[in-house]
Each structure stands twice: as structure tokens, then as C-alpha cells.
């Protein structure tokens, strides 16, 4: 049995003997916290919604790329509960018998080109605090989870399996022991078939309906339907299955969605994709079926709109979420037109929840977020608290604060500020593009122009001031019928010639007049393999030509920041091309990249800022079933390539960015997150600081602020503020116990408090801190013993002490740059103006990280806000005014305490004396002091904690003036400055009054001592100061 002392000794000895290994790991980076900035003004694709039938305030939402969100207040606010796991969600099911138990199937089931991948089936037993992976880790995507209403331990999971290759866990899986073991109960006929839906008869839970779906996606093609598809029924809880055929279409089937009418379970509906897709209905528990509708929304894009629902109380009311939500009131015979209330909610609807106790209350999940209705779709309320947007690209401008621009899956293009009043609100985001937003960036010279595009090469420019939009896409020239643009077609601006734009189809185009005209500057840079150009036939049973499978196209354009004639191009069919003469000659260098299978999609190229021959390339083979991470560097214009991906990096690679200042600092975005290397790619550490496990599609670094901005496909934008510290993480620093790092200067800012009481129903993106940021590196967590941070001004005077920060790795501590607040006279109500001390003067401060006996020092700079051009004289006038008012407040505080002390003593002595001449003198003194006291501070009852307005006394005037001058960074107004001596004179007069009143104290005290009473005495200033400090 070990004693406590042994524990402690062990800990301290271990600390002493600790030998540092100078390797950057995730822990070292996690102290740099990414802040989520939204947007939530619009949503992202929603795949699943479930709520508790007994308590509809409890809601779970599963986003296609944005994780699982829980609301316990009926959808006013949501919080993310699935941050540590893949954010791609296919299914969410609450165990209605025990609503703290929730099942989450990861991996989106609506298999569009841009879907992510899942990692299995998860279960929580405590409302989402803790999750356990319970199986199907290799299913890649789970389309539905159904809990047996009569037995919480029996659960069915519809596993689709791999989208881009054979294999993985496919079919219907069943557990009878709460997830401990799983049995595959329904298997497809081939390796491209999985289970796409399952429904349980609520009255007889042994009766199950399940759909198998034969499907496959490749970079250039999608197939929905095949020999494996079919509709099945089991009547013994999944032991035996029968394929249902009677009345259903002959021939190959595609995707099938199933819904059992809860109030009459013999009635079952199914949308069945076939040559003639329609809604089928059975009234005999699936035995026989009849076609009831082939209306538009019933048949539209069956692979993408895979949900069907029946009203809980009315078996004839059927909902089909499709392009719009459509409803039938007559058992499927007729459907509402193009949906109801077209336009008020986002199109492309995927998930629908119907309140089992109130069929008028629905929640709808769309490509643009979650909506709720309480009048059965008459009117919808948008949920504005879910930051699940799916940007493809990110760009920044150089305004102050800078703006973040991006194109979003099915939500057009938007820009918003990197900080806002009280946070970045939904209304701070401005929309300007439509469709599936892709590359979006401001013109580097004309802030009125934003370039943007939607899918398939539709390029526009937007004029901010007038909100006009002009199409500027390149058109096919001679010989070509069409141009082949990728879904995410590339658009780039020349870093050396800001009026030059590049766009890529199969050719590279350049424009030197802001897109007004284009010149083709290459031949076909792709393989032009006709076998891979099948977009028109793509879709399978239902043609689906959305440009998502456009292939043999340019995907990346990377002009060199150093040499205008050097341009890199990568194609989706695996060509990596470079020109060194502005496009006259091109060389395909992909064969020189070792280890990448031929034809692998080039996902990213970064041309170095430090050396014209250096570039980085990432490859992404996931759409051919290859999930490897491919990252390379060349230093000789592509003649040789070095692999940079290590075993520490997971996920197929999207983008690599070089730090603008440090050539060895690299940022890598993969499907599994953000990775950082400080040694040019030899070692990588995953960045996990407040960043969920979300795909990082694009990365931008703000050159002025050194902010790292991430486009995450499912959680909007994240900002890691000031990554300049990473440039300082040398091996020596990593080997040190503590090193104070230098951070970017902090601008002295007085935050604006906006009056906005909008309730809790709006998302607010996080602002950067207004405080001074102190960064230091610590090699090991420190829990024991004194640890603090002191800040000294240039003269060596200590201006602040902060508690120590003790995490392993980079520690980020905030110092709110205010000096100590003045001591304030005690009066009725808070003297708000005196709560904060004066803002600290701008300048350089010394930071001391003090660990017990050891002190580590560094510097931080508090700089004037560059937007505010106050002269030094103005700043000095403000500082001088603050110092004078500060001193006046402390003088007044002392005077007030002295007055109170003598008054109370006089009252007390008088009380002991009874009615005597002496007591009369004492009471007279007390009364006079009380009268004086009432001129020093307000004594009226405060209003809501604040001093009564009509009873402003000296304290209120002085503290208000102090607060007002402190609340503005420039020269105080002439009126304010003139007021200081006025108040000063009042204070002097009060002091004189006091001195006059206490002049007779020696006489009084003599008489008091005759009565054996203690003398009256105010504390001296010195005593008072000491008392205040304790």
C-alpha cells in the first residue's frame, strides 16, 4: 500500500528526472485554441433529426458534416455533443423508452460527390456526455438506426458500406444486447450493395421492412441501382427475410425509402427508384403493393432524397422530403405541388421529424439547416444557432478587421468580419452568390469587387456597393462544343500581377482585365480520356447530371508568388503540370512523384513563397477507394519529389499551405483535420485545440495578423489567432522547461457594447480577445507549487499579477490591459466608472513567468489601434486627466472614510454619555459630519444597483468623469478637461470643511478622556492605505 507521501515524492522526482524530447506533438499545440466564427446565418446539410416523443424539448440533430447537436429547450439553443468523433452523420435515433440513450450512425447516407466518411455506430447512455463506439467501424456510412420500441437492447442499423469501393460492413445489422454484439441479418447479393433503410412495425416489432441498395461512385460517375437492390420483409425480428415483389416494378431497382403508418401499421409506403420511380403503397403489411404517385417531388433524385414519413395519427397523410417538402393528404394519390410555402425554407430536404403527439409540429432538415413549424408547414422558423455550414474555400481581405470569404455547399457565397460588436452575429454575414459556392475572393486592388463562382465553372464578379452581379466565365472557342469544368472549378488570382485571373477547364485561361476577356494559355492539360467523361450518363437508374461528376478537368491552379511565368496546374485525373514560361510550354511531372497511383486526383498545390522551384502537392484518391494521405515537396520545379506524409497524419489530403514568414512551418488540411509541421514536413502534429474532428478543405493565413483561417466542410470557419508563436518553436524552445514567446502586438481597444437583446436564438461567433496575449511554452504540465505571471512596465514597475498557466505546450494567457482600479468612496450604489482602472499606456511590457524560484521573461507590446490616429499629445492629455481623476477618487475615498469614522465614533460616545453637554457637542459634530458626508457620496436608495440620479454627489461626478474619459481612447473633450479642476475645487473645499469640523477634536478628546472614553480619531492616510491593502 503506497502512501500519499510516496505519491507526491514520485511526482516530484519524476518531474526532476524528466528528459525532454524535442518533438512537437498535439498537446504542445492545443493551447492555441481555434475559435469558431460561424456562419450560422444559413446552415449546412442536415441528415437526421430526432426528438423525444414524451419531451419534444429534447432534440438531436445530425449534420452531414457538422456532427451531432443537442437541444434541451425545444430548439432555441443547441450544443455540440460529438466533438471528438467524425462529424459526418448519417443517422440519429433516441431510445424513446430511455431518452438518455441515443444511437448515432456516422457517415452520411445521401451519397453525393462531396460526402465525408464515417467511423461506425456510437451510443451514449447519458445524453451525449460520453459516447462509445459499439460497432460497424468499417461501414463507412450508416443510413438509418431503428430501436425496437418494445426492447431497448434490440437495435437495427442500416449500413451502406463503402461508397467508392467494394467491401466494408454492408447490410442490415442487429444487436440484441444493447450493442455489445452485432449480427448481419440481411446481406446484399453483391459487394456494391448495402442497406439504405429499415422500418419497424410499431405494433408488432418483429415485423421489419428493409431496403437494399446497389450503388457505386467514382470520380467520374455515379450509379444508383443494380442487381443487389430490393425491398425485404422479416416477420421474426430479422431471422428470415422475404423479398417483396408483388406490385413492385420489375427489373433493376435503385434506392428505396420506407415508412410504416404508425396509426395503422398494415399500411406501408415506399418510394422505389426504378426506370419509373414512384411512391408505392401496401395495405396488407407489404404483401402486395400498388403505384400511387410519380409526382415530381416523389421521384426527384432518389439517391439524395431518401426519407419518407407518415403522419403519426393519420395513415393517409404522407410526407416526402425532396427538392421541396411535399405532402399527400389522400394516401399518396395526390401531392402538394412544389412543396408548400415555396421559398421560405431551403430546398433539398433530407430529414423530417413529426411530433408523435402533435402532427402539426414538424422539424425539417435541409441542405441549408433546420426549420421548425407548428402549423404543419404553413410557416417555418429557421434555427439560427447551428454553425454547420460547409465551405469549400476560404479567402481573406486586408481590411481592419479583415473579412472572411467563402463558397458553401448549396448555400452560395458569403463574407463576414473576423470580429464584430459583441461577437460575430448572424447578421454580420453578407450573401452575394448562389448555388454551390466555390472559389470566392476579393479583388486585391478594388475592394468593391468580389470574384465568386458556383459549381461547374460559373464565374461571376460581384460589386459590393451596388450589389450587382456580372457573369465573367470563359466560353468555348472554335472547335470546342463545351468546356469541361470541375464541380469545384479552380479560380486563382496572380500573386504577382493583381489584375490577372486564372480559370481552369480542361485548358488554363488567363484574364488580365478582371475577367472581361480570357486567353487560353494551355492545351488540354488533362488526360482527356474519353472513358472518364461520362457525366451525361451518370446517375444510374435516374440520370443525375449536376456537373458533380465532370471529369478530366483542371482542379488546382497555383501561380508562383515569386515568378509570374511559373504556374502549376493539377487535374482531377492525375496530371501535375508546370510551366516556366507563362504557358508557352507545359511539363507533366506526375510520373516523377513516387508512390502515387496513376490517375490520382491532384487535390492541392502550393507554390512556395521562398523559392521559385519549390512547390508542394497533395493527392486525393478517396473517390477511387484509396484513403491514403499523399503529400509531396519538390525543390527543382517538379523534377524530383519527396514524400512528407507520416504515420501521424490521417485522412486524405486536401490542401497544404506554407507559412508566409517561416519556410519550415507547414499547415496541412485533410479529411480528418488540421496538421502542423514546424520542420518542413518531417514531423506532423494534429491541431486539436477546440477544433472538432472535421474535414479541413482550405486554409488561409492572414499576412498582417498571422491568423490561420480554416474552411471546415461542416462546421464553417475557424480562426486560430496569431500563429506567429509557431514560428518560434525551435528545437531549443521545445527542449526548454519554459520559454516566453513573442506574440503580435495587441492594439489598445475599448470594446463597443452593442445594445442587442435578441434572446438566445442566434448563434454568435467568437471574437478575438481584446486583451494582451501572452504566449509561452511549457514542456510539462505543472500542478504543484507557486506559479504566477507578472507584468512590468518599461520602468520596471509591476502593473499586473496574473495566475500562472500550467498546461503542457503553448500556454496562452490574457492580460486585460487595465491598471488597478482606484479605491472608491463607499456610497449607495455602484460607481460603475471606477470599476475598471485606467487603460494601461501603450508601450512594451516585460512578462515574467514565475514558477516558484524560477523566473522566465519575455516582452509583449501594447500598441495604439492603427485605425485611431490620435496624436501623442492627445494620448498624453487623456492619461494626465485619468491620473488626476484617479488621485481625486482615492483622496475622496480617504476623506469619506475619515468622515464616517469620526461620525460613528462621535455617535457611539454620545450614546454612552446620556443627555449631557458633551453628548450634545458630539451629536452636533456627528450631524455636521453627516451633512458633509451627504455631499461626498450619494446616500439615496440606489435604483437597480446604480446611484440615484438626482442625488449625484462628488463621488458620482468624479467617477463618472473618470469612466467617461477612460472609455474613449483619444483626447478628452474641452468640457471634460474643464470639469476636472471644478471637481478638484469641490474636493478641496470638502477637505477644508472636514478639517474645520474636526478642529475641536483635541478639546473634545480631553473631555472624553475625563469620562474615561476613548478619543475620537480618524485613521491617518498612512493607516488607511495599509488597511485598504490588506
Partner 1 sequence: MRLSVKGLFAAASMALAATAAFGEEPAAKTADDVVAKFIAARGGMEKMKAIQSLEMKFKANQQGLEFPGKMDLKRPGKMRLEMTIQGKTMVQGYDGKTAWMIMPFLGSPDPQVMSADEAKEVIEQADMDGPMVDAKAKGNTVELLGQEDVEGSPAYKLKVTLKNGDISYAYIDTDTGLEVKETSKRKKQGSEIEVDSYFTNYKPVNGVLIPFTIENKVQGKSMGQFTVDDVAANVPIDDAIFSMPAAAPKAPAPAEKEKKTEKDVK
Question: Segment 774-813, which members bind partner 1 (CB under 8 A)?
Answer: 780-788, 802-809
Choose between 56 and 599: whose C-beta lies nearer to partner 1: 56
Choose between 28 and 902: whose C-beta lies nearer to partner 1: 28
Whose cell is 452581379? That residue is 469
When asked if residue 927 is in the footprint of partner 1 (CB under 8 A), the reply is yes
Q: How far is the CB of 739 from partner 1 (least distance, A)?
A: 16
Grid cell of 138 as nine digits? 468499417
Whose cell is 484574364? That residue is 511
When asked if residue 6 is in the footprint of partner 1 (CB under 8 A), the reply is yes
Q: What phi and psi, each to the nearest 5 degrees, are found at residue 422?
A: 75, 10
Q: How far is the CB of 4 from partner 1 (least distance, A)?
A: 4
From 816, 846, 861, 1005, residue interacting with partner 1 (rule: CB under 8 A): 816
Distance between CA atoms of residues 229 and 209, nearest Å: 14
When asked if residue 1002 is in the footprint of partner 1 (CB under 8 A), the reply is no
When asked if residue 690 is in the footprint of partner 1 (CB under 8 A), the reply is yes
Range in contact with partner 1 (rule: CB under 8 A) among 3-11, 479-487, 582-590, 965-973: 3-11
First to last CA, the chain: 45
Q: How far is the CB of 784 from partner 1 (least distance, A)?
A: 5
Grid cell of 695 as nine digits? 474535414
From 10, 794, 883, 982, residue interacting with partner 1 (rule: CB under 8 A): 10
When asked if residue 13 is in the footprint of partner 1 (CB under 8 A), the reply is yes
Range in contact with partner 1 (rule: CB under 8 A) among 337-345, 449-457, 638-646, 941-949: 941-949
Q: How far is the CB of 950 from partner 1 (least distance, A)?
A: 7
Site for partner 1 in 830-859 (CB under 8 A): 830-831, 834-836
Choose between 423 and 433: whose C-beta lies nearer to partner 1: 423
Instruction: Confirm if 90 and 63 have CB atoms less than 8 A apart.
Output: no
Listed in sequence order, the residues at least 6 apart from 27 whose beta carbon sits closer than 8 Å to its beta carbon are 808, 809
The site string for partner 1 over 906-925 (x = CB under 8 A, - otherwise) reads: -x---------------x--
Grid cell of 490 as nine digits? 479552380
When asked if residue 519 is in the footprint of partner 1 (CB under 8 A), the reply is no
Q: Count CB-CB contacts under 10 A for residue 46.
A: 30
Residue among 975, 957, 978 at smallest CA distance from 892:
957
Choose between 270 and 424: whose C-beta lies nearer to partner 1: 424
Choose between 529 and 1027: whose C-beta lies nearer to partner 1: 1027
Helices (H), ranges, 223-374: 296-299
When asked if residue 22 is in the footprint of partner 1 (CB under 8 A), the reply is no
Site for partner 1 in 95-154 (CB under 8 A): 126, 129-130
Choose between 6 and 978: whose C-beta lies nearer to partner 1: 6
When asked if residue 898 is in the footprint of partner 1 (CB under 8 A), the reply is no
| Positive or negative: CA dihedral 742, 744, 745, 749 | negative
Choose between 72 and 381: whose C-beta lies nearer to partner 1: 72
Q: How far is CA 324 from CA 181, 193, 196, 318, 963, in A?
A: 39, 28, 21, 14, 55
Choose between 784 and 982: whose C-beta lies nearer to partner 1: 784
From 47, 367, 671, 766, residue interacting with partner 1 (rule: CB under 8 A): 766
Which strand ranges, in their side-by-side order, compose the sheet holding 843-851? 746-748, 854-864, 843-851, 787-792, 798-803
When asked if residue 243 is in the footprint of partner 1 (CB under 8 A), the reply is no
Grid cell of 807 as nine digits? 498546461
When asked if residue 376 is in the footprint of partner 1 (CB under 8 A), the reply is no
Listed in sequence order, the residues at least 6 apart from 853 whose beta carbon sits closer than 8 Å to its beta carbon are none
Choose between 830 and 918: whose C-beta lies nearer to partner 1: 830
Grid cell of 367 as nine digits? 441542405
Residue among 992, 864, 1015 at smallest CA distance from 932:
992
Q: How far is the CB of 849 from partner 1 (least distance, A)?
A: 13
When asked if residue 1011 is in the footprint of partner 1 (CB under 8 A), the reply is no
Q: How far is the CB of 945 from partner 1 (least distance, A)?
A: 5
Number of residues that bind partner 1 (CB under 8 A): 72
Chain centroid to CA 1: 48
When asked if residue 20 is in the footprint of partner 1 (CB under 8 A), the reply is no
When asked if residue 33 is in the footprint of partner 1 (CB under 8 A), the reply is yes
What's the residue count for the chain? 1030
Distance between CA atoms of residues 295 and 325, nearest Å: 12
Q: Which residues pair with 460 in a beta bridge?
A: 452, 471
Listed in sequence order, the residues at least 6 apart from 988 whose beta carbon sits closer than 8 Å to its beta carbon are none
DSSP string, 621-648: -GGGT----EEEEESSTTSS-EE---TT
From 28, 308, 310, 925, residue interacting with partner 1 (rule: CB under 8 A): 28
Distance between CA atoms of residues 320 and 349, nearest Å: 9
529 Rama sector, left if φ>0, alpha if ψ -120 to 50, beta otherwise: beta
Choose between 163 and 825: whose C-beta lies nearer to partner 1: 825
Instruction: Confirm if 858 and 847 have CB atoms less than 8 A apart.
Output: yes
When asked if residue 999 is in the footprint of partner 1 (CB under 8 A), the reply is no
The site string for partner 1 over 48-77 (x = CB under 8 A, - otherwise) reads: ------------------------xx----
Choose between 2 and 869: whose C-beta lies nearer to partner 1: 2
Q: What phi and psi, each to the nearest 5 degrees, are found at residue 963?
A: -65, -40
Listed in sequence order, the residues at least 6 apart from 296 whose beta carbon sits closer than 8 Å to its beta carbon are 322, 323, 326, 338
Choose between 501 and 813: whose C-beta lies nearer to partner 1: 813
From 3, 466, 753, 1012, residue interacting with partner 1 (rule: CB under 8 A): 3
From 56, 149, 864, 942, residue interacting with partner 1 (rule: CB under 8 A): 942
Distance between CA atoms of residues 968 and 964, nearest Å: 7
When asked if residue 935 is in the footprint of partner 1 (CB under 8 A), the reply is no
Q: How far is the CB of 925 from partner 1 (least distance, A)?
A: 12
Choose between 392 and 684: whose C-beta lies nearer to partner 1: 684
From 390, 926, 976, 979, residue interacting with partner 1 (rule: CB under 8 A): 926
Amino acid at each position: 500500500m503506497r502512501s500519499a507521501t510516496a505519491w507526491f515524492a514520485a511526482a516530484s522526482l519524476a518531474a526532476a528526472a524528466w528528459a525532454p524530447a524535442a518533438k512537437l506533438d498535439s498537446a504542445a499545440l492545443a493551447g492555441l485554441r481555434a475559435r469558431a466564427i460561424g456562419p450560422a446565418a444559413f446552415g449546412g446539410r442536415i441528415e437526421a433529426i430526432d426528438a423525444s416523443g414524451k419531451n419534444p424539448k429534447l432534440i438531436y440533430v445530425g449534420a452531414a458534416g457538422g456532427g451531432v447537436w443537442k437541444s434541451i429547450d425545444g430548439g432555441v439553443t443547441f450544443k455540440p455533443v460529438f466533438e471528438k468523433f467524425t462529424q459526418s452523420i448519417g443517422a440519429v435515433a433516441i431510445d424513446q423508452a430511455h431518452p438518455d440513450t441515443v444511437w448515432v450512425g456516422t457517415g452520411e447516407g445521401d451519397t453525393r460527390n462531396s460526402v465525408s466518411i464515417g467511423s461506425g455506430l456510437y451510443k451514449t447512455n447519458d445524453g451525449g456526455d460520453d459516447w462509445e463506439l459499439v460497432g460497424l467501424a468499417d461501414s463507412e456510412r450508416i443510413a438509418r438506426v431503428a430501436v425496437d420500441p418494445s426492447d431497448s437492447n434490440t437495435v437495427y442499423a442500416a449500413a451502406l458500406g463503402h461508397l467508392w469501393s467494394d467491401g466494408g460492413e454492408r447490410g442490415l445489422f442487429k444487436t440484441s444486447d444493447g450493442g455489445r454484439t452485432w449480427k448481419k441479418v440481411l446481406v446484399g447479393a453483391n459487394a456494391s450493395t448495402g442497406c439504405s433503410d429499415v422500418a419497424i412495425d410499431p405494433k408488432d416489432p418483429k415485423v421489419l421492412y428493409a431496403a437494399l441498395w446497389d450503388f457505386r461512385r467514382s470520380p467520374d460517375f455515379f450509379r444508383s441501382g443494380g442487381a443487389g437492390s430490393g425491398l425485404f420483409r422479416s416477420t421474426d425480428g430479422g431471422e428470415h427475410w422475404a423479398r417483396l415483389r408483388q406490385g413492385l416494378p420489375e427489373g433493376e431497382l435503385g434506392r428505396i425509402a420506407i415508412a410504416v403508418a404508425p396509426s395503422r401499421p398494415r399500411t406501408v409506403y415506399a418510394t422505389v427508384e426504378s426506370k419509373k420511380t414512384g411512391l408505392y403503397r401496401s395495405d396488407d403489411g407489404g404483401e402486395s403493393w400498388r403505384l400511387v404517385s410519380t409526382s415530381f417531388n416523389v421521384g426527384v433524385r432518389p439517391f439524395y432524397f431518401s426519407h419518407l414519413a407518415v403522419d403519426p395519427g393519420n395513415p393517409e397523410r404522407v410526407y416526402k422530403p425532396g427538392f421541396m417538402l411535399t405532402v399527400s393528404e389522400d394516401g399518396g394519390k395526390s401531392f402538394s405541388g412544389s412543396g408548400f410555402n415555396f421559398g421560405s425554407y431551403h430546398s433539398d430536404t433530407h430529414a423530417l421529424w413529426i411530433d408523435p403527439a402533435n402532427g402539426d409540429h414538424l422539424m425539417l432538415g435541409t441542405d441549408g439547416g433546420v426549420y421548425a413549424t407548428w402549423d404543419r408547414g404553413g410557416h417555418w422558423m429557421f434555427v439560427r444557432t447551428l454553425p454547420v455550414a460547409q465551405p469549400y474555400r476560404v479567402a481573406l481581405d486586408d481590411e481592419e478587421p479583415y473579412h472572411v470569404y467563402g463558397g458553401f455547399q448549396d448555400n452560395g457565397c458569403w463574407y463576414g468580419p473576423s470580429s464584430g460588436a459583441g461577437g460575430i452575429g448572424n447578421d454580420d454575414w453578407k450573401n452575394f452568390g448562389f448555388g454551390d459556392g466555390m472559389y470566392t475572393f476579393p479583388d486585391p486592388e478594388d475592394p468593391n469587387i468580389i470574384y465568386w463562382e458556383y459549381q461547374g465553372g460559373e464565374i461571376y464578379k460581384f460589386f459590393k456597393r451596388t450589389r450587382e452581379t456580372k457573369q465573367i466565365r470563359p466560353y468555348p472557342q472554335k472547335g470546342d462544343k463545351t468546356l469541361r469544368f470541375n464541380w469545384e472549378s479552380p479560380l486563382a488570382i496572380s500573386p504577382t500581377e493583381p489584375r490577372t485571373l486564372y480559370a481552369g477547364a480542361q485548358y488554363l485561361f488567363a484574364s488580365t482585365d478582371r475577367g472581361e476577356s480570357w486567353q487560353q494559355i494551355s492545351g488540354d492539360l488533362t488526360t482527356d480520356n474519353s472513358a472518364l467523361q461520362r457525366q451525361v450518363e451518370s446517375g444510374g437508374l435516374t440520370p443525375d447530371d449536376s456537373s458533380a461528376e465532370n471529369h478530366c478537368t483542371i482542379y488546382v491552379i497555383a501561380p508562383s508568388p515569386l515568378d509570374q511565368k511559373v504556374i502549376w496546374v493539377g487535374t482531377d485525373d492525375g496530371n501535375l503540370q508546370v510551366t516556366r514560361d507563362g504557358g508557352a510550354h507545359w511539363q507533366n511531372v506526375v510520373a516523377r512523384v513516387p508512390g502515387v497511383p496513376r490517375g490520382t486526383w491532384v487535390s492541392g498545390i502550393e507554390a512556395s513563397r521562398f523559392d521559385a522551384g519549390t512547390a508542394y502537392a497533395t493527392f486525393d484518391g478517396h473517390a477511387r477507394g484509396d484513403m491514403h494521405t499523399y503529400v509531396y515537396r519538390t525543390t527543382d520545379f517538379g523534377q524530383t519529389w519527396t514524400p512528407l506524409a507520416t504515420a501521424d497524419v490521417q485522412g486524405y489530403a486536401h490542401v497544404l499551405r506554407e507559412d508566409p514568414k517561416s519556410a519550415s512551418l507547414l499547415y496541412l488540411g485533410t479529411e480528418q483535420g488540421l496538421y502542423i509541421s514546424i520542420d518542413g514536413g518531417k514531423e506532423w502534429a494534429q491541431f486539436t485545440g477546440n477544433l472538432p474532428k472535421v474535414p479541413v478543405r482550405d486554409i488561409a493565413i492572414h499576412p498582417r495578423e498571422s491568423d490561420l483561417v480554416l474552411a471546415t466542410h461542416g462546421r464553417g470557419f475557424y480562426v486560430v489567432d496569431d500563429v506567429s508563436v509557431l514560428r518560434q518553436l525551435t528545437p531549443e524552445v521545445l527542449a526548454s522547461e519554459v520559454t516566453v514567446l513573442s506574440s503580435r502586438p495587441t492594439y489598445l481597444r475599448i470594446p463597443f457594447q452593442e445594445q442587442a437583446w435578441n434572446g438566445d436564438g442566434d448563434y454568435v461567433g467568437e471574437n478575438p480577445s481584446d486583451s494582451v496575449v501572452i504566449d509561452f511554452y511549457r514542456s510539462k504540465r505543472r500542478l504543484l507549487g507557486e506559479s504566477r505571471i507578472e507584468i512590468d512596465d518599461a520602468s520596471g514597475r509591476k502593473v499586473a499579477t496574473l495566475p500562472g498557466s500550467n498546461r503542457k505546450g503553448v500556454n496562452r494567457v490574457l492580460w486585460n490591459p487595465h491598471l488597478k482600479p482606484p479605491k472608491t468612496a463607499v456610497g449607495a450604489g455602484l460607481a460603475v466608472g471606477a470599476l475598471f482602472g485606467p487603460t494601461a499606456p501603450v508601450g512594451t511590457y516585460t512578462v515574467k513567468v514565475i514558477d516558484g524560484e524560477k523566473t522566465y521573461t519575455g516582452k509583449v507590446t501594447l500598441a495604439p489601434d492603427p485605425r485611431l490616429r490620435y496624436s501623442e499629445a492627445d494620448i498624453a492629455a487623456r492619461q494626465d486627466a485619468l491620473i488626476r481623476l484617479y488621485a481625486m477618487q482615492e483622496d475622496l475615498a480617504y476623506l469619506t472614510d475619515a468622515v464616517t469614522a469620526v461620525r460613528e465614533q462621535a455617535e457611539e460616545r454620545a450614546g454612552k454619555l446620556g443627555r449631557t453637554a458633551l453628548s450634545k457637542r458630539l451629536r452636533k459634530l456627528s450631524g455636521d459630519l453627516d451633512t458633509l458626508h451627504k455631499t461626498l457620496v450619494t446616500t439615496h436608495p440606489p435604483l437597480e444597483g446604480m446611484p440615484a440620479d438626482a442625488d449625484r454627489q462628488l463621488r458620482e461626478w468624479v467617477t463618472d468623469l473618470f469612466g467617461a474619459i477612460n472609455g474613449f481612447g483619444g483626447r478628452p473633450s474641452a468640457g471634460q478637461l474643464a470639469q476636472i479642476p471644478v471637481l478638484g475645487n469641490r474636493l478641496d473645499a470638502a477637505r477644508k470643511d472636514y478639517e474645520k469640523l474636526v478642529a475641536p477634536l483635541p478639546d473634545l478628546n480631553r473631555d472624553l478622556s475625563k469620562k474615561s472614553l476613548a478619543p475620537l480619531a480618524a485613521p491617518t492616510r498612512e493607516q488607511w492605505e495599509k488597511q485598504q491593502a490588506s
